[in-house]
Amino acid sequence: MRQLTILLALVLGVACSKPPRDDAPAPGSASPAVPAAAPGAKDPRPPAAATPLKVGVTLHPYYSWVANTIAGVPGAEVIPVLPGDVDAGNYQPSPDDIAKLAGLDAIVINGIGHDDFIRDMIKASGNTHLAVIEVNAQTPLVKSAHGEGQNSHTFISFTNAIQQTKLIAKRLGELRPASADAFATNAAAYGDRLRATQRAVAAKLAGAKIKRVVTVHDGYTYLLQEFGIELAGVVQPAHGLTPSASELGELIELMKQSKVTVVLTEEDFPAKLLATVREATGAKVYIISHVAVGAYAPAEFETVMAKNADVLVQALVTDPT
């Protein structure tokens, strides 16, 4: 079905989209493609520093990271490809979204399973100059809770956010060397802020009474590991899937045996299933977020992650006392 949608979008989207920008730099090029003006001629072009740099993103966290990296740099702009209210896990490409890709110079993608739709969309857009920045290219990946696959939720993490923002800054600097220092400085400042939050939360969690939890969604392994919290189990058998009765029964048994008393869930998980877990185990349920939907904003990642951290402190330190 997705293939058909993309095929349809190819026809409609390309027909409606603008052609690729002639001045877009090629992937990995050392400088923006601004040709030299003829001697003595009046150059109508903007100075190199103001050359447009349009950076697309597939996921909400990447929007925040790019927005903070390019902040204050003339001509640089971040453009979300997906509508804000759509989780990438449930996304179907649309012609309008494919049209957005046609005008981009670069796009930041997960590249390890969280946004597989984007590669077909890029092909469909006809943008052959697009620099694809795969943020997980240098990220160590942990296994998923179920199966042998690797966990693609690397973005729900302070450590990964710091390093991946730095990688984005580096790649954007290669595309626009004139702004490379500004990108690096911005990324470093953003990383320092994230690190300060992480350090403050770690100090609070050092005295945690509870150090083992169950999560509904398999998206928090990286975050929990950073804070030394053990993930005892994951409720969903796979992204977005509701567990069967037997799977839920196995998890409840695991929670009883391991004496797990905290479940971290998300707002959209069925309340009845949670009630079953709560009644069977006596566990307390707390809501956290994997920064997947909502209005795109530069501060979104920091805000949501700070809330997540507060929830962890409440669940593991404050409430058990």
Partner 1 sequence: MDRIRTVTVRSPSMLRETGAVLNVVVQIVFWTAVVTSLTWNRTTGDAAKSKLEIDEVAFASLAPADQRMFRASLEGLGEAEDVRSRTRTWPTVEALAARGIPPFAADPLDHAGYAWRMLRDGTLINYIGTPAASAGPTFVITVLEPDPGTAPDPQVETDETHHRLGDGTMLHVSIWTGPRTLGVAMATPPFEDGWRRITMLSPEAPRT
Asked if residue 292 lies in contact with residue 300, where contact means CB atoms within 8 angstroms, the answer is no
**Amino acid sitting at position 69:** T
**Please, which residues have CB within 8 angstroms of residue 131's CB and are 6 or more apart in sequence?**
25, 26, 27, 28, 105, 106, 107, 171, 175
**Of 50, 188, 254, 317, the one binding partner 1 by CB under 8 A:** 188
Least gap, CB of 264 to partner 1 (angstroms): 17
Buried/exposed code over 203-217 (b: 16+ C-beta within 10 A; e: otherwise): ebbeebebebbbbbb
The answer to whether 129 contacts partner 1 (rule: CB under 8 A) is no
Calculate the alpha carbon distances from 122 to 93, 94, 100, 176, 249 in Å: 11, 12, 10, 21, 43
Closest approach, Cβ 192 to partner 1, in A, equals: 8
Binding to partner 1 by residue 91, rule CB under 8 A? no
Which of 11, 203, 295, 299 contacts partner 1 by CB under 8 A? Answer: 203
Geometric angle at alpha carbon 277, from 271 and 280, rounded to 5°: 135
Stretch of 31-39, 60-68, 199-207, 286-294 contacting partner 1, by CB under 8 A: 199-207
DSSP character at residue 143: B
Task: Determine which residue in the list 92, 189, 230, 244 makes contact with partner 1, applying CB under 8 A.
Answer: 230
Give the one residue of 17, 125, 136, 186 binding partner 1; rule: CB under 8 A.
136
58 binds partner 1 (CB under 8 A): no
212 counts as binding partner 1 under rule CB under 8 A:
no
Residue 288 beta carbon to partner 1: minimum distance, rounded to whole angstroms: 19
Q: Least distance (Å) from partner 1 to the CB of residue 209?
A: 15
Q: How far is the CB of 19 from partner 1 (least distance, A)?
A: 31
Interaction of residue 113 with partner 1, rule CB under 8 A: yes
Task: Give the list of residues 6+ apart from residue 144 with CB closer than 8 angstroms, or none.
Answer: 150, 151, 218
**Cα(318)–Cα(107) distance, rounded to whole angstroms?**
41
Report the residue from 17, 68, 69, 163 that binds partner 1 according to the rule CB under 8 A. Answer: 163
Among 29, 150, 303, 314, indicate the residue that binds partner 1 (CB under 8 A): 150
The alpha-helical segments, DSSP class H, found in 17-143 are 60-70, 95-102, 117-125
CB of 225 to partner 1, least distance (A): 5
Does position 8 interact with partner 1 (CB under 8 A)? The reply is: no
**219 is an interface residue for partner 1 by CB under 8 A:** no
Distances (CA, A) of 271 to 140, 249, 261: 34, 16, 17
Alpha carbons 135 and 77: distance in angstroms, whole number:
18
Q: Give the interface with partner 1 as residue ranges (CB under 8 A).
A: 111-114, 116, 136, 138-152, 159-160, 162-163, 166, 184, 188, 192, 195-196, 199, 202-203, 205-206, 218, 225-228, 230, 238-239
